[in-house]
């Protein structure tokens, strides 16, 4: 550990502690923020600079089986964007799906110090952890996909809710995951077993299990909240991308019955209009519902124009895009659990639907009343790369820039939104600090992240305060991770191993005896080889459940 | 036309060591269509020389029924003998043509 | 047999790409050998039985016994001094070792390539062109009612493929095993795999692409001339019947082997069957899977992909990864005479590469790591004998369907592991060449 450090003269934005741009000292010792240091401690002068906690990405796709398939499939994505090795860093390649080393370095160079991969099939947990070992600097974790898990759905069919809860806890513990993810709940059986069809109604019966998507969602909301996991169920709703899907989205939020639920990339779920026709905006309706229901958090999944890679556990949705684009396509079924689809994609300003998606994302940001419950994301790399976050921040902070950009895109789409109806709001630095740091850390239940109070992890980003917000957020002057000065004068000066963040909820061990016979019959690997061993943890932190925190 | 490939014996014998007698024997025994062998006056165990523009190998031959191995085809387990026959041009793919290439057979 | 017997359950066989993890091993710890491998196939039994502790020196330099330290030093010097060093092999070692191999290539600005380039490399190229609809093997077991093997002979190369994963095994929606499935085999000869098939198609040698393209045409509802039989060796009626079955099955699977990748057409052949699979998804659920050979060749593809963005044939001469099959693949770098030093890990190119490539390998300094003496270790300037993965070492391997599995060690070997040797070489090379240090494993 480096010696104690006092950062002086910077304007501090620490919304979790009510600090809004005041000049004050920050004291760091042993990787944490402390109240005070001896007067002779080393100093870093941040005069003219803005200090925020390190950024926290609540929803991205950066490691694991489908990410690696997307890397492997797209040499054209890497060729133009290379990352040479340096005296302290490994080489790699970029594009929308960067290599692991490049992913860690690039998050750090944006001032992000924590990122969560949002969709890993449990069978791919080991793979994800192996990639994480090669993803430097940032802290990271992953959510396991459980909403189409055959064993769990069979328990729901038999209304065995207590065993369901224990099995969810077992699965999360066994895979070293951070949270439970639902992707298009109930959709895998029609996709894999019924000629590539899908479930389109949250109340439609899934005959294989005799349950509905709503029942699956509701069961997860109760199980995960009862288990006290730091992050609630993280849901990718049914009907992603389809016109008219906003009703499903509202119904999904209602299925939470007032308990905590995180809505992933909600922009992709805020469409009006008729199925099969051009979407209309229902951004205002969705924003209103979220404003009025404090149990809901969301991330936006903003679309940014340019190259993207669609990669999703929602294989039917990826296939729809494959049919539209005719692009090369990956579908990958994972036995008894999940699957994914991958399609290279490009969002274009002149295309009505793309412009509409872009505009709906902005509507959601601008109409949201509680920045603590709306998180900045592009669903990297689905809506665009995380490297476009600085540009997105500029769109939110700079009304004139936003107007210029609005004028450049498909105007028919814009006329179907409220973007030109006096949406003059400009995000403040304090609000940006909330939607990129403090809010996601709180939604994740990470008490040591997203703030700069005593005891917090010393993950700190220091920006030159510039008029052009894209420039400002593209290249922080300093980034500290665990108190180590990783980026100094805009350059990476040392490599660093971040932590794996995972949870280990207790469970009734009898549940393993119920799961094992299912494995023996229907999995192709042995039950005894399924749970991920501690040797894959390396540097890590077991984040306590809410219950463990109280006791 | 020759098809170098994997066989079970090639697989089990390589565990014992690629310098072992069994592996070397397995990988230098070629299967030929029985009718072709008759035409050439060959019997199981006879030696033949296989030749391509790249190189040549001497192997022993063994007959297979025409329904299992069509006329004009030779199967040879991967190994040092098949390597001698393979050209190194990969046509920009990294992969040399390792199956289905033409060889000349000389009866020894 | 000694008294010191250990039983290991759920052990993994790494001989072929099936990576069966249900081995029940009986280990004689005194004799340091595996006396019984329950559940293993004929290849697996040979794998476990023959990997005892050999009686070779741990390291040799110029054919003479040397200390591991001296051999590491010699290896590092060779790699650091070379202008165009290549690293090759890697399919029969753990991902943990593979990760260090890529790091060495990064430090020495060399090439790294794996046995993928001479097995399913063309399928990797095809994947980059058209993508792939695919599945884990458990999906095949649970759902597949139509299975086609094309240009592969699993009965001999992957003996448990039929019984554990695909044909006779019973699954969730296939409770009657083989009775619930139609099995088709396409090959140029009637291999020992043919008896398992309900339908055997004998394709003319070198006409796989034409056959796949004819099937694509029929799937898309185009008319074909009966002369297609002269081209492919398969009658139009047979093709039409096959397409009908493919479109009407519930869950179709196409496994393809090196009969497609190693012959005329190469990646075009793989691309054709992958495109055919994609086309069939208009009608039903259909997946494809190359049947990969070595125990961890799939892991090598994965490690290279996540560290560099590319699955094989990667070059670091300019300080960052570049990919170009035909330029940076090993047969080419050797046959062209570009390589001026080679580090070969767990592979024996001196025995199975084209002659010209082998000749160049004999002319440059070679460093070889293997569990046994091979043609390659024999010609190597520096040779290390290492412990066998999955028998003497733990670690991670990826099954042919990208499912990662953790190995269990059966007994200790006096030989170092690949990971240990490669870590040591990496440290020395880093000291000689500069560049990022080897990270220490920190645990908090």
Question: For chain A, what is the mean pLDDT?
Answer: 97
**Segment 138-157 of chain A within 8 Å of chain C by CB:** 150
Report ipTM (2 d.p.): 0.97
Q: Which residues in chain A are contacts of C139 at CB distance < 8 A?
A: 192, 333-335
Cβ–Cβ contact C266 with B under 8 A: yes
C174: nearest CA partner in chain A:
A522
Question: Does residue A506 form part of some domain?
Answer: no
**Residue given tokens 């679309």 in the structure block:** A303
Choose among C317, C389, C320: nearest CA to C89.
C389
C128 lies in the same domain as C275? yes
**Segment 302-341 of chain C within 8 Å of chain A by CB:** 302-303, 305-311, 316, 318-323
**Segment 372-401 of chain C within 8 Å of chain A by CB:** 394, 396, 398-399
Number of domains observed in the structure of chain C: 3
Identify the domain boundary among C290, C313, C343. Answer: C290
Sequence-distant contacts of C209-218: CB under 8 A, at least 24 apart: C209/C264, C209/C265, C209/C268, C209/C269, C209/C272, C211/C186, C212/C269, C212/C272, C212/C273, C212/C275, C212/C276, C213/C272, C214/C239, C215/C239, C215/C242, C215/C243, C215/C246, C215/C276, C216/C272, C216/C275, C216/C276, C216/C279, C218/C243
Judge whether residue A137 has pLDDT over 70: yes
d(CA A288, CA C243): 52
- The domain that contains B92 carries what CATH number? 2.40.40.20
**Segment 192-211 of chain A within 8 Å of chain C by CB:** 192-193, 195-196
Asked whether A147 and A183 are in contact (CB, 8 A), the reply is yes
d(CA A384, CA A134): 23
Cα within 13 Å of Cα(B76), Cβ side:
36
- The domain that contains C186 carries what CATH number? 3.40.228.10
Question: Does residue A466 form part of some domain?
Answer: no
Task: At C299, give phi and psi (nearest 5°).
Answer: -65, -40
**Mean pLDDT for the stretch of residues A437-466:** 98
Cβ–Cβ contact C203 with B under 8 A: no
pLDDT digits (tens, 9 = 90+) for C404-424: 999 999 999 999 999 999 999
Nearest to C264 among B75, B90, B100 (CB): B100
Choose among C353, C357, C354, C392: nearest CA to C372.
C392
Asked whether C390 and C414 are in contact (CB, 8 A), the reply is no
Contact between chains at B94 and C374 (C-beta distance less than 8 A)? no
Q: Which residues in chain B are contacts of C335 at CB distance < 8 A?
A: 88-89
What DSSP line would sit under C240-290, residue for residue? HHHHHHHHH-SEEEEEE-HHHHSSTTTHHHHHHHHHHHHHHTTTSEEEEEE
Characterize the bridge pairing of strands C285-290 and C85-89: unpaired
Question: Does residue A118 form part of some domain?
Answer: yes
Count of all residues that appear for chain B in the document: 108
Instruction: State the smallest CA–CA distance between residue B107 and chain C in angstroms.
Output: 23
Take residue C306 and report the two structure tokens written for it.
Answer: 């996540």
A498: nearest CA partner in chain C:
C442
Residue C442 has what pLDDT?
43
C224 lies in the same domain as C171? yes
C127 lies in the same domain as C274? yes
Instruction: State the smallest CA–CA distance between residue A165 and chain C in angstroms.
Output: 23
Asked whether B19 and C374 are in contact (CB, 8 A), the reply is yes
B69: nearest CA partner in chain C:
C189
Take residue C161 and report the two structure tokens written for it.
Answer: 């493929």
Q: What is the pLDDT along chain B (108 residues), one digit of tens a residue?
A: 778 778 777 777 777 777 788 888 888 999 999 999 999 999 999 999 999 988 999 999 999 999 889 899 999 988 889 999 999 999 889 999 888 888 999 998
CB pairs under 8 A between B and C: 164
pLDDT digits (tens, 9 = 90+) for B92-105: 899 998 888 889 99
Instruction: State the smallest CA–CA distance between residue C191 and chain A in angstroms.
Output: 26
End-to-end CA distance of chain B, in Å? 19
Number of domains observed in the structure of chain A: 1
**β-bridge mates for residue C113, sequence order:** C88
Residue C443 has what pLDDT?
40
A150: nearest CA partner in chain C:
C172
Instruction: State the smallest CA–CA distance between residue C407 and chain A in angstroms.
Output: 9
Question: Does residue A421 form part of some domain?
Answer: yes
Nearest to C106 among A85, A196, A329 (CB): A85
Question: Does residue C440 form part of some domain?
Answer: no
d(CA C383, CA C72): 10
Looking at per-residue confidence, does A538 or A551 come out higher? Answer: A538
Nearest to C125 among B73, B82, B93 (CB): B93
Residue B4 has what pLDDT?
79
pLDDT digits (tens, 9 = 90+) for C206-237: 999 999 999 999 999 999 999 999 999 999 99
Band of the pLDDT at C444, cuts 50, 70, 90? very low
Radius of gyration of chain C (CA): 23
**Mean pLDDT for the stretch of residues C106-116:** 97
Question: Does residue C441 form part of some domain?
Answer: no
B54: nearest CA partner in chain C:
C355
Nearest to B93 among C202, C325, C334 (CB): C325
- Domain encompassing residue C183: 122-290
**Mean pLDDT for the stretch of residues C98-117:** 98
| Positive or negative: CA dihedral A171, A173, A176, A178 | positive
Task: At C402, give phi and psi (nearest 5°).
Answer: 70, 15
**Mean pLDDT for the stretch of residues C299-306:** 98
Nearest to A87 among C138, C404, C434 (CB): C434
What DSSP line would sit under C287-302, residue for residue? EEEE---BTTHHHHHH
C95 lies in the same domain as C179? no
pLDDT digits (tens, 9 = 90+) for C40-77: 999 999 999 998 888 899 999 999 999 999 999 999 99
End-to-end CA distance of chain A, in Å? 31
Number of domains observed in the structure of chain B: 1
Which of A87, A525, A531 should be substituted to probe chain C, the one whose Cβ sees the most C Cβ atoms within 10 Å?
Answer: A525
| Contacting residues for A403 by C-beta, under 8 A, at least 6 apart | none
Nearest to A328 among C130, C403, C434 (CB): C130
- The domain that contains C415 carries what CATH number? 3.40.50.740
pLDDT digits (tens, 9 = 90+) for A285-319: 999 999 999 999 999 999 999 999 999 999 999 99
**Segment 20-49 of chain C within 8 Å of chain B by CB:** 42-43, 45-47, 49
Contact between chains at A85 and C323 (C-beta distance less than 8 A)? no
Residue B1 has what pLDDT?
75
Question: Does residue A279 form part of some domain?
Answer: yes
pLDDT digits (tens, 9 = 90+) for C240-289: 999 999 999 999 999 999 999 999 899 999 999 999 999 999 999 999 99
Contact between chains at C326 and B92 (C-beta distance less than 8 A)? yes
Cβ–Cβ contact C54 with A under 8 A: no
C368 lies in the same domain as C285? no
- Domain encompassing residue A344: 54-452
Question: Does residue C442 form part of some domain?
Answer: no
Contact between chains at C320 and A82 (C-beta distance less than 8 A)? yes
Residue C58: how many CB atoms within 10 A of its CB? 17
Q: Which helix (H) or strand (E) holds A337?
A: none
Question: Does residue C427 form part of some domain?
Answer: yes
Q: Which residues in chain C are contacts of B91 at CB distance < 8 A?
A: 266, 326
Choose among A10, A44, A16: nearest CA to A455.
A16
Contact between chains at C47 and B55 (C-beta distance less than 8 A)? no
Q: Which of A391-400, A420-429, C126-135, C395-404 has the lowest mean pLDDT?
A: A420-429
| Positive or negative: CA dihedral C326, C328, C330, C334 | positive
Q: Which residues in chain C are contacts of B68 at CB distance < 8 A?
A: 189-191
Q: Which residues in chain C are contacts of B98 at CB distance < 8 A?
A: 118, 258, 262-263
Residue A422 has what pLDDT?
81
Asked whether A175 and A122 are in contact (CB, 8 A), the reply is yes
- Reduced to 3 DSSP states, what percent helix, strand and coil does chain A have, rounded to the nearest 5? 40, 25, 40
Count of all residues that appear for chain A in the document: 551
Take residue C308 and report the two structure tokens written for it.
Answer: 């560099």
d(CA C426, CA C91): 19
- The domain that contains A202 carries what CATH number? 3.20.20
Q: Which residues in chain A are contacts of C137 at CB distance < 8 A?
A: 335, 524
- Domain encompassing residue B67: 2-107
Q: Which residues in chain C are contacts of B85 at CB distance < 8 A?
A: 355
Q: Which residues in chain C are contacts of B95 at CB distance < 8 A?
A: 117-118, 121-122, 261-262, 266, 329, 331
Question: Does residue C444 form part of some domain?
Answer: no
Residue A36: how many CB atoms within 10 A of its CB? 11
Asked whether A498 and A538 are in contact (CB, 8 A), the reply is no
C134 lies in the same domain as C115? no
Question: Does residue C438 form part of some domain?
Answer: no
């Amino acid at each position: 550990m480096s010696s104690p450090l006092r950062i002086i003269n910077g304007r501090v934005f620490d919304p979790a502690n009510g600090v809004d741009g005041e000049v004050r000292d920050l004291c760091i010792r042993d990787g944490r923020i402390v109240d005070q240091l001896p007067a002779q401690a080393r100093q870093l002068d941040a005069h003219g600079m803005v200090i925020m906690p390190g950024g926290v990405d609540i929803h991205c796709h950066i490691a694991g089986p489908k990410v690696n398939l997307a890397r492997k499939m797209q040499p054209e994505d890497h060729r133009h964007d290379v990352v040479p090795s340096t005296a302290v860093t490994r080489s790699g390649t970029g594009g929308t799906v960067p290599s692991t080393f490049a992913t860690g370095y690039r998050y750090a160079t944006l001032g992000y110090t924590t990122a969560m991969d949002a969709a890993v099939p449990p069978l791919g947990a080991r793979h994800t952890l192996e990639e994480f070992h090669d993803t430097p600097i940032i802290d990271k974790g992953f959510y396991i996909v459980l909403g189409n898990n055959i064993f769990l759905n069979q328990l729901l069919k038999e209304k065995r809710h207590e065993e369901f809860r224990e099995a969810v806890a077992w699965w999360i513990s066994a895979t070293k995951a951070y949270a439970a993810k639902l992707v298009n709940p109930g959709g895998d059986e029609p996709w894999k077993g019924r000629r590539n069809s899908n479930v389109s109604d949250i109340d439609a019966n899934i005959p294989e299990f005799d349950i509905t998507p709503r029942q699956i969602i509701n069961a997860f909301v109760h199980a995960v909240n009862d288990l006290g996991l730091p992050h609630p169920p993280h849901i990718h709703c049914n009907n992603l991308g389809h016109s008219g899907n906003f009703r499903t989205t509202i119904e999904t939020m209602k299925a939470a019955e007032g308990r905590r639920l995180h809505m992933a990339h909600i922009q992709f779920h805020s469409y009006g209009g008729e199925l099969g026709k051009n979407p209309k905006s229902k951004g205002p309706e969705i924003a209103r519902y979220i404003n009025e229901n404090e149990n809901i958090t969301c991330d936006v999944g903003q679309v940014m124009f340019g190259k993207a890679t669609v990669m999703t556990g929602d294989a039917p949705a990826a296939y729809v895009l494959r049919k539209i684009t005719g692009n090369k396509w990956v579908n990958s079924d994972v036995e008894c659990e999940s699957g994914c689809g991958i399609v290279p994609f490009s969002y274009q300003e002149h295309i009505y639907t793309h412009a509409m998606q872009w505009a709906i994302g902005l509507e959601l940001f601008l109409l949201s009343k509680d920045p603590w419950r709306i998180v900045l994301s592009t669903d990297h790399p689905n809506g665009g790369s995380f490297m476009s976050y600085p540009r997105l921040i500029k769109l939110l902070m700079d009304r004139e820039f936003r107007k210029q950009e609005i004028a450049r895109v498909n105007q028919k789409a814009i006329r179907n939104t409220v973007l030109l109806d006096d949406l003059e709001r400009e995000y403040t630095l304090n609000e940006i600090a909330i939607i990129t740091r403090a809010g996601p850390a709180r939604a994740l239940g990470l008490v040591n992240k997203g703030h700069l109070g005593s005891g917090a992890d010393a993950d700190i980003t220091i920006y030159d305060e510039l008029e052009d917000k894209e420039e400002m957020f593209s290249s922080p002057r300093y980034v500290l991770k665990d108190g180590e000065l990783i980026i100094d004068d805009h350059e990476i000066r040392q490599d660093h191993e971040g932590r794996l963040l995972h949870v280990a909820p207790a469970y009734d061990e009898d549940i393993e005896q119920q799961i094992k016979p299912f494995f023996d019959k229907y999995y192709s690997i042995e039950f005894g080889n399924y749970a991920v061993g501690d040797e894959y943890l390396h540097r890590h932190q077991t984040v306590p459940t809410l219950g463990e925190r109280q006791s | 036309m020759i098809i170098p490939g994997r066989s079970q014996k090639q697989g089990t014998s390589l565990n014992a060591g690629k310098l072992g007698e069994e592996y070397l024997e397995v990988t230098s025994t070629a299967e030929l269509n029985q009718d072709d062998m008759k035409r050439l006056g060959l019997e199981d165990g006879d030696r033949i020389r296989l030749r391509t523009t790249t190189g040549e190998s001497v192997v022993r031959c063994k007959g297979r029924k025409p329904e299992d191995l069509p006329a004009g085809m030779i199967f040879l387990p991967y190994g040092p003998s098949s390597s001698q026959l393979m050209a190194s041009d990969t046509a920009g793919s990294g992969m040399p043509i390792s199956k289905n290439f033409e060889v000349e057979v000389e009866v020894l | 047999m000694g008294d010191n017997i250990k039983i290991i359950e759920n052990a993994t066989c790494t001989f072929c790409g099936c990576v069966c993890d249900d081995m029940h091993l009986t280990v004689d710890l005194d004799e340091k050998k595996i006396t019984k491998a329950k559940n293993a196939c004929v290849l697996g039994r040979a794998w476990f039985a023959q990997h005892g502790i050999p009686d070779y020196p741990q390291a040799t330099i110029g054919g003479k016994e040397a200390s591991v330290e001296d051999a590491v030093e010699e290896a590092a010097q060779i790699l650091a001094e070379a202008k165009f060093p290549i690293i090759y092999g890697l399919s029969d070692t753990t991902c943990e070792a593979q990760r260090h191999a890529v790091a060495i290539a990064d430090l020495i600005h060399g090439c790294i390539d794996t046995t993928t380039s001479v097995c399913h490399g063309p399928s990797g190229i095809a994947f980059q062109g058209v993508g792939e609809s695919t599945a884990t093997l458990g999906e095949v077991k649970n759902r597949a009612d139509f299975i086609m093997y094309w240009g592969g002979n699993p009965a001999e190369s992957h003996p448990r493929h039929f019984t554990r994963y695909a044909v006779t095994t019973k699954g969730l929606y296939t409770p009657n095993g083989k009775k619930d499935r139609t099995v088709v085999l396409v090959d140029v000869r009637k291999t020992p795999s043919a008896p398992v098939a309900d339908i055997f198609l004998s394709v003319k040698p070198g006409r796989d692409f034409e056959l796949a393209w004819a099937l694509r045409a029929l799937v898309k509802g185009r008319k074909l001339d009966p002369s297609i039989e002269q081209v492919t060796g398969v009658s139009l009626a047979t093709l039409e019947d096959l397409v009908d079955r493919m479109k009407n099955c519930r869950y179709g699977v196409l496994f393809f082997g090196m009969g497609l990748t190693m012959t005329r057409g190469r990646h075009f052949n793989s691309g054709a069957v992958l495109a055919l699979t994609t086309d069939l998804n208009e009608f039903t659920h259909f997946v494809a899977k190359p049947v990969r050979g070595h125990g961890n060749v799939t892991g090598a593809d994965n490690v290279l992909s996540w560290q560099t963005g590319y699955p094989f044939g990667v070059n670091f001469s300019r300080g960052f990864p570049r990919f170009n099959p035909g330029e940076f693949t090993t047969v080419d770098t050797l046959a062209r005479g570009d390589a001026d030093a080679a580090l070969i890990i767990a592979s024996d190119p001196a025995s199975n590469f084209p002659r010209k490539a082998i000749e160049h390998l004999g002319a440059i300094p070679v460093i070889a790591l293997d569990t046994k003496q091979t043609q390659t270790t024999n010609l190597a300037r520096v040779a290390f004998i290492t412990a066998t993965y999955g028998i003497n070492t733990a670690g991670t391997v990826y099954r042919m369907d990208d499912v990662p599995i953790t190995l269990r060690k059966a007994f200790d070997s006096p030989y170092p592991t690949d990971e240990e040797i490669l870590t040591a070489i990496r440290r020395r090379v880093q000291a000689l060449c500069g560049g990022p240090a080897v990270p220490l494993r920190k645990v908090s």
